[in-house]
Structure 1
């Protein structure tokens, strides 16, 4: 699946209907809008659903009683934010995922993926104990920045090392 992650004003400025029509035309499967409050999802969700595009919802360590509600409305996957702060690689993730995800422990309709700061195979393996998947966007972006047009080879090696680390 191909996903876009962007801010809501970018979509509004471009035009919501035009944006989701272009997503459909270019085979984008979902959109992550980190600054869109869950309660304001209708601003995008109607156009997204009309074009078969998932709007991926986020829960954070501060979501508490909202986790179950957000999970029940999620399609595609639920993006679990690993820690507070801005996105980017972190040396340590200290969130209590057992507590955060307890309200949805038996959620069988929508997978949970943890992201936000996961940057190496060891962190990915640790996070995979709590979720159905891990998201490593900043780590991949850093490799692309370093290697430019040669990045696919290095991204492939990195992802292979992550997969091997998670399997061992």
Structure 2
């Protein structure tokens, strides 16, 4: 399986499709199946959310997915056992999205070693302050994990510079203030925000939060973004999936998003 950075190199300026799903919702067997479907339907990288009881950056759809997964006894160890199996059958590298407390509870070093050994290639910790990130950054490097730091629209210029200097090759720009979820329109001011960031770095820029339709993707793909993260729209389709587990709605949605991005080339 490729590294996160290698995927962007191989895409050669084509915008990457990065779906997000919550691990264990509706169950881990479905998660494994959906990871394979997303990979087959054109996902370049897949973000896998670790269920957490207090997901401050997540909107109601992903919060509910976390609640359901936790209520069924989904744990990190069970997730990593599934990941260990599925990474051999998919090409898209996996990024684990988790809050800082589960990492601290397990022990930072052990947590990073365990997820890397399972086959996780990247890590996003939305509540990790950049001022406290150095230790995690150094440990991630030792186990070949790419830690992806976040920049928000409210980040000061000095903070943006600090995040860019400490980031690995990939930087996650949050496209809206608040939590994840559906939004009718993309904030057009983000185009200038992205432009200002790209003027300061040659690192890979991905954009997420509130992106949920093919129209959004069509608009954002014209901003010279390297990757687009879509979460709640996928998680909702999983929540509304019939019991037959064919995931036709999710499959069609993923392939339609990929078509928008490939047609831009």
Q: Same fold (TM over 0.5)?
A: yes
Alignment of 1:6-21 (within 5 A): 6-21=98-113
Deviation at 1:5, TM superposition (A): 0.7
Stretches of 4+ aligned residues off by more than 3 angstroms: 151-154
Take 1:95 and 1:68, find their aligned partners in 2: how far apart are those partners? 23
Contact 1:7–1:35 (CA under 8 A) maintained in structure 2: yes
Alignment of 1:1-168 (within 5 A): 1-65=93-157, 66-94=159-187, 96-101=189-194, 102-105=196-199, 107-108=201-202, 110-130=203-223, 131-147=225-241, 150=245, 152-166=247-261, 167=263
Which structure has more relative contact order (CA 8 Å, sep 6+)? It is 2
* Structure 2, gaps ≥5 residues long: 1-92
* RMSD, aligned α-carbons: 2.0
The alignment partner of 1:79 has SS state of strand
Contact 1:140–1:155 (CA under 8 A) maintained in structure 2: yes
TM-score, normalized by length of structure 2? Answer: 0.58
Take 2:107 and 2:240, find their aligned partners in 1: how far apart are those partners? 33
* Structure 1, gaps ≥5 residues long: none
Take 2:142 and 2:201, find their aligned partners in 1: how far apart are those partners? 26
Deviation at 1:42, TM superposition (A): 2.0
Take 2:116 and 2:181, find their aligned partners in 1: how far apart are those partners? 29
Take 1:89 and 1:3, find their aligned partners in 2: how far apart are those partners? 22
TM-score, normalized by length of structure 1? Answer: 0.88
Q: Deviations over 1:37-96 (max 9, x none)?
A: 112112422222211111110001111413243223322421110000111121122251
